[in-house]
Amino acid sequence: MNQTVPKRKFRIRILSAFIAFAVLLSLLGVRLVFLQLIQGSDLKQKAIEQQTRDSLVASHRGAILDRNYKTLAQSSTAHTVTANPNEIQKSKKDIGEIAVKLASVLEMDTEEIVTLLNKKTNHVTIKRRIEDDVVTAVRELDLTGVYLQEDAKRYYPYGNFASHILGFVGNDNQGLGGIEAEYEEELKGAPGRVIALKNALETDMPFKEEKHIDPENGINVVLTIDEVVQHFAEKHLEQAYYDEKVQAGACAIVSDVKTGEILAMATKPDFDLNDPFTLPEDVSADIQSIANDDERREANSNALQKMWRNKAVVDSYEPGSCFKIITGCMALEEGLITPDSTFFCSGSKKVENYNIGCSHRDGHGSQTFADAVKNSCNPAFIEVGQLVGKEKFKEYYKAFGFLDTTGFDLPGEASGIFYADESYNEVELATASFGQGPKVTPLQLMAAVGAVANGGKLMKPYLVKELVDNSGNVVKKTDPTVVRQVISQKTSEQMCAMLENTVANGTGQNAYIKGYRVAGKTGTSEKVPRGSQKYIASFIAFAPANDPKVACLVVLDEPSNGQYYGGAIAAPVVGKILEDTLRYMDVEPQYTEEEKQNLDVSVPNVKGLSRSNAIKNLTNEQLNYRIVGNGETIKEQMPKAGSTISGGSIVILYTEDSTSNYVTVPDVTNLSVGEVQSILAEHRLNLSIAGAAATGNAGNMTVSDSQSPDPGTEVEEGTIIEVQFRYLDVD
């Protein structure tokens, strides 16, 4: 028998086994390489996730401060309730019982929590940013798989104050509008982490071994906004918004004309920054009445976007006669006119086949250019625009910054709109000359007029003064930026003088402030489609005219209370904002001789004096008097000592105890100055004149707009009734 055959078969078996083993080892090697090199990082991450519980610790967003470091937005520590559904399910705990306990503490629906806890996941969020007392209550429940995660809550101490500037944050603490969104990277910081070991049941290990990585808090943003000036702007703008029944919103801007810093920027209506997703009740009710779910959601989204819209930055509009400032500067700078150049206004101007009217239908007749500015005469400015010409007009339009965005610190800034070359003809030039046709944003107009006020330098407007860390170190500072010199110092001075005359003697008298030289211009534009009877009323001014420091623009979109001329309803608002701001900034009043003669006087203290001495003190101050009682010593007086009243007012002197007489304040609104003086005198009340009538040359051209105290109020004889007057016969 041949022995070689079995040996060969044996060797073949060994070889086959070896080859099979080698192939197996190779496959295992390949698999090992695949697991280590290809899937290694993923498997490592999954192992870490399986063996550890990783919790984020929210960083505190940087604060937002005003220019004087008053806090406008800040973050505080809060907690979020989370749960690990897998852990709860593996622990065999009663999910329903856990949900009932949590619902009672968190004031949530039990079924909502049950749904979350039945999910196949390691993490769900039950409720965000709960208060401290709720945190304590959750801890005391000591529920398996339920955790408290440190979080941060954004808080705005003044509610709706500067809402369109500051913006707000979403559920994940990310900026969703305003400075919060624009400076998200600087404000947000970096979250910290807590890493803890857990077992196969996904519960914490019996021994504690945690790794803490501290969060990095965000950088603080310091604004150019002055909280006090912002308050002035919001207060007076809101009053006008309601008084004039403004339908499409209103805005106001206050700026430093020399630096471009924005001191205040307000838009009405506004919203509560601590509750930014809640619409006004009337708007919300209209939306909830929509039956279709998709349409209702879309309407809600559109309403929120409209509410959050910053009108001063995002909306463009036809500036109306405010733009005449720019048209005038073009012609003055080119040497085409002087303030003494003459123009004739018949009440309209024919351009091609169109008769373009003046607001003064009877015409202004022959007038200088300075008078045309004061009178806000459309035909005169059409002629000025024609002198400048189409090409130069557009060059200056661009030079003043109307074709570009300003590079402002807020999202969504719009640029100006001008005619396309193919549709830019003589009629378009004519209407553009007095601010109809092309569109600008309030911010652009503010920057352009700031250049007129400051000697011709177009400054870049800005809202962020500096970035500082929590130790007070300045990380980044914003310096004033000159974009370009658009007009000369001479042109600037000429226009400032003419605009001052407009407020002192022309269409801008409703912005007059006793003791302060105000330069300004009215603006009234009819919205498209023409004939819709919808208007935008505006007024822009700066002061002091001989050394401008601050400028203010107010825009009222679709006033519906009867008046719509900018000079009638926007100018008084600008006057009030500027007066409060100038006094706050301690700008020294500069009284004219006429103003000095009509200055209010401070009522002297005559209590305790004899009749004769009291009368002497009052007459020295050019005040009248009325004595009540038969005593020889003054026991009480009205108005009180230190009150400010007009010269010639009456002080009631009481010589006996409890002899005060009370009168009912009459309604003196919608009356002339003379009529108001007569009625209040009959009621033995004193008048304090505010607004246009304080110019001293108002006569019967003004009517009383509002009064304080209100009609029907019972007051003592001699009480001062402050009455606000304004011109109505202005554009």
List for the chain the helix, strand, coil content (%; round to 5): 40, 25, 35
* Distance in angstroms (rounded) separating the CA atoms of residues 11 and 277: 83
Angle (CA) 102-103-108 rounded to 5° is: 135
- Residue 500, number of CB atoms within 10 A of its CB: 23
Q: Which two tokens stand for residue 582?
A: 């100038």
pLDDT band at 418 (very low <50, low <70, confident <90, very high): very high
CA angle 145–146–148, rounded 5-degree value: 135
Angle of the 293-308 helix axis to the 281-288 helix axis, nearest 10: 160
Q: Give the residue carrying structure tokens 């803490």.
A: 212
607-629 pLDDT tens trace: 999 999 999 999 888 888 888 88
Over the stretch 294-315, which tens digit does the pLDDT of each residue have?
999 999 999 999 999 999 999 9
Any idea which residue has 């309030």 for tokens? 442
Q: How far apart, in Å, are the Cα atoms of 64 and each of 98, 109, 277, 469, 542?
A: 40, 36, 21, 12, 28
Structure tokens of 137? 């209550």
Residues 6+ apart with CB under 8 A from 141: 101, 102, 105
pLDDT band at 93 (very low <50, low <70, confident <90, very high): confident
Of 270, 275, 307, 301, residue with least CA distance to 287: 301
Average pLDDT over residues 464-491: 96
Would you state the pLDDT for residue 145? 87
Tens of pLDDT, residue by residue over 433-474, are 999 999 999 999 999 999 999 999 999 999 999 999 988 899
- Whole-number Å distance between alpha carbons of 166 and 25: 66
- Rounded Cα distance between 322 and 423, Å, is 24
Q: What is the pLDDT of residue 700?
A: 40
Going by C-alpha positions, the residue among 228, 239, 194 that lies closest to residue 213 is 194
C-alpha 204/C-alpha 98 separation (Å) is: 18
Active site residues: 321
What are 623's two structure tokens? 């005040």
Percent residues over pLDDT 70 in the chain: 91
- Quote the pLDDT of residue 696: 55
Q: Is 282 exposed, middle or buried (0-12, 13-18, 19+ CB in 10 A)?
A: exposed
DSSP letters along 472-534, please?
Answer: S-EEEEPPP-EEEE-S-HHHHHHHHHHHHHHHHHSTTGGG-BTTB--EEEEEEEEPTTTTS--
Question: How far is residue 140 from each of residues 101, 134, 554, measured CA to CA in Å?
Answer: 11, 10, 56
Average pLDDT over residues 375-388: 96
Pairing of strands 624-628, 650-654: parallel
Angstrom distance (rounded) from CA 266 to CA 311 = 9
Q: Distance between CA 687 and CA 704 in Å, rounded?
A: 12
